[in-house]
A = this chain, B = another copy of it.
Amino acid sequence: MGGSTFGRVFQIHSFGESHGKAMGVVIDGCPSGVKFSLTQLQEFVNRRRPGFSPFSSKRKEADQVELLSGVYEGYTLGTPIALLVYNQDARSSDYDEIKKKPRPGHADDVWKVKYKHTDHRGGGRASARETLSRVMAGAVAKMLIQSLQPKLNVFSFIKSIGLFEISSAATQAIMQHPSPKKELEKLDLAIPDKECLEKVKKLLGDAGVSGESYGGVVQLVVRGLPAGLGQPVFHKLKADLALALLSIGSTVGLEFGDGFKISSERGSEFHSLQQQHNYAGLRGGISTGEAMVVKIAFKPVSSVGAVARNGRHDPCVLQRALPIVESMVLLSIADHLLSCRLDKV
């Protein structure tokens, strides 16, 4: 059964295999009258592009987005918005051996069980390239949110890679920063702690050569979220965000605020420390209007050793994951902002 639709009102339908002809997305449910800029969308997508940071994979694709429908004279029409990127650098020959020998840690073999007939080239639809569709749609969600809640701000940074973690002080500093995105864009890697950043750069530089790989934790922050978002009981905001974020490849867990730490505390402590625990943004799974924090754990990438030898090894996906994480959260928030219009008569 199909699984490429996300959202209940602001719905996106994604398609595309890594080494097929194109990747794309159709957004159905975006209202008319949203100011739309293809240039902004392209910039948003460029953040995701492999090859953007010196540490990421060498596959460099222009990923030029084509707008096919749903927009006229700079504003959305209320009709489906279709966005497309043709695949150019599809070196499927690299992947010919996979057909017989599934790669360890990849989903090749479970897809085989599931579908019997699969496209093995570059992981087919199981490839990380699939997230391009999410980011294109995320850019549109951002434009809609801009129209509805101009002060809403979604940003994310790397909290830890391997055993290196940014300090509490650095975390607080970026969370309170008046323009966190600009601040983060200045950095090679979005690690807003100079000392930690240097250590990680050294770590990943070495790993790029040795073929080692690392996971880590991404911290996502939403500021300016209105109160009352989330639909009881199965579509609480926290539940829909969990669906959104755990649908991303390599994610292995998430917590709201300091979730796991909170679970070991006494109730009397917790309730006096909610702000400090970054847990003030949710109550009963519904937004409260205060800032919301989610931390997402990523496992180390599966491509270790062998793949590194052809010079295409990316030892850590976290930098690339940031626009994907943000896109999924933007999509979920856009969906909930619209769905709340139906709450009261």
- For A48, what are the chain B residues with a Cβ–Cβ distance below 8 Å? none
CB-CB nearest in chain B for A164: B264
* Min CB gap A40→B, angstroms: 16
Given A110-B227, A267-B301, A271-B104, does the pair A234, B3 have CB atoms closer than 8 Å?
A: yes
Known: A162-B266, A252-B255, A256-B252. A24 touches B113 (CB 8 A): no
Known contacts A116-B33, A126-B284, A232-B79; is-contact A297 B259 (Cβ 8 Å): yes
Instruction: Look across to chain B and name the residue whose beta carbon is closest to the beta carbon of A19.
Output: B72
> Measured between C-beta atoms, what is the minimum distance from A335 to chain B in Å?
10
Whether a CB of chain B sits under 8 angstroms from the CB of A298 is: yes
Are the CB atoms of B69 and A15 closer together than 8 Å?
Answer: yes
Instruction: Check: A32 CB closer than 8 A to any chain B CB.
Output: yes
Tell me, rounded to whole Å, the shortest Cβ–Cβ distance linking A159 to chain B.
Answer: 10
User: Which A12-58 residues sit within 8 Å CB-CB of chain B?
Assistant: 13-17, 20-24, 26, 28-29, 31-34
Q: By the criterion of a CB under 8 Å from any partner CB, how many residues of chain A are at the interface? A: 135
Q: A209 on the interface (CB 8 Å rule)?
A: no
Q: Contact check: which of B31, B67, B249 meets A343 at CB < 8 Å?
A: B31
Interface string of A298-313 (1 = CB under 8 A from B): 1111101100000000
Contacts of A298 in B (CB 8 A): 263
Given contacts A106-B284, A147-B345, A264-B163, contact A69 B234 (CB under 8 A): no
Using A217-B263, A234-B247, A268-B304 as known contacts, list a sample of 17 further A-B pairs with CB atoms less than 8 Å apart, ordered by residue number in A: A1-B343, A2-B80, A4-B233, A6-B234, A15-B81, A17-B72, A21-B69, A31-B344, A77-B118, A78-B115, A78-B117, A107-B284, A110-B228, A113-B228, A125-B232, A252-B263, A255-B297
